[in-house]
Amino acid sequence: MLYWQLYYHIVWATKNREPLLTPDVETVIYGFIRDKALNLDAIVYAVNGYLDHVHLIVCVPPKIALAKFIGQVKAVASVRFNQSGLSSIPFYWQEECGVFSFDRKRLPNFVKYVEWQKEHHASAALIPVLERLETVQSHVVTDNTDLYFILDKDWQREMLELTPIDQFSPEDNSLSINAKLDRTD
């Protein structure tokens, strides 16, 4: 059995940043995104966005290339929506996207950020690099690696505390994420 923990925050926009993700449209589009991701054996933690873009927090199995996964999810959502007849306006995505990998420890932070998209946009409390805003010019995001230095014994303890994902039911996993969201430490 293959064991993996590959967490991603994926964000992409509607073509020309058209404000197409209205409340009635986003429900359908997010459903198509979630269904296709699950069909590809991904674990979906959050799907949300704003009028012109989508955020997806997902764990993608290594059996599928990430670019192929993203392409299939985007294609199925737009094609199925256009075929549904729910709107006379054609729905398309931009080709580009942003992808960020992260570890399980930060999963609750990413989930909460995505779940609160509308509130973040209403209050302008955005993280520019996660929004693919025009103010972010770089194609590669780098960090000061000193911020992530962990003593070997701390790292070893954290790794020993990890529980394989197959020991969680979806309900348990959601509860553990929500419990962690409330932590302040």
pLDDT in tens, 151-183: 566 766 766 776 655 544 444 444 334 333 443
Compute how many other C-beta atoms are within 10 angstroms of the C-beta atom of residue 50.
18
Burial code (b: 16+ CB inside 10 Å, e: under 16) for 78-107 equals: bebbeeeeeeeeebbbbeebbeeeeeeeeb
The answer to the question of residue 2 being in a domain is no
- Rounded to whole angstroms, how far apart are CA atoms 43 and 37? 7
pLDDT in tens, 20-65: 999 999 999 999 999 999 999 999 999 999 999 999 999 999 999 9
pLDDT at 2: 78
Number of compact structural domains in the chain: 1
pLDDT at 69: 98
The answer to the question of residue 123 being in a domain is yes
If you search the block for the tokens 């399980």, which residue do you land on?
104
The answer to the question of residue 62 being in a domain is yes
SS3 content of the chain, % helix, strand, coil (to 5): 50, 15, 35
**Which amino acid, residue 20?**
L
CATH code, domain carrying 11: 3.30.70.1290
pLDDT at 182: 40
pLDDT at 49: 93
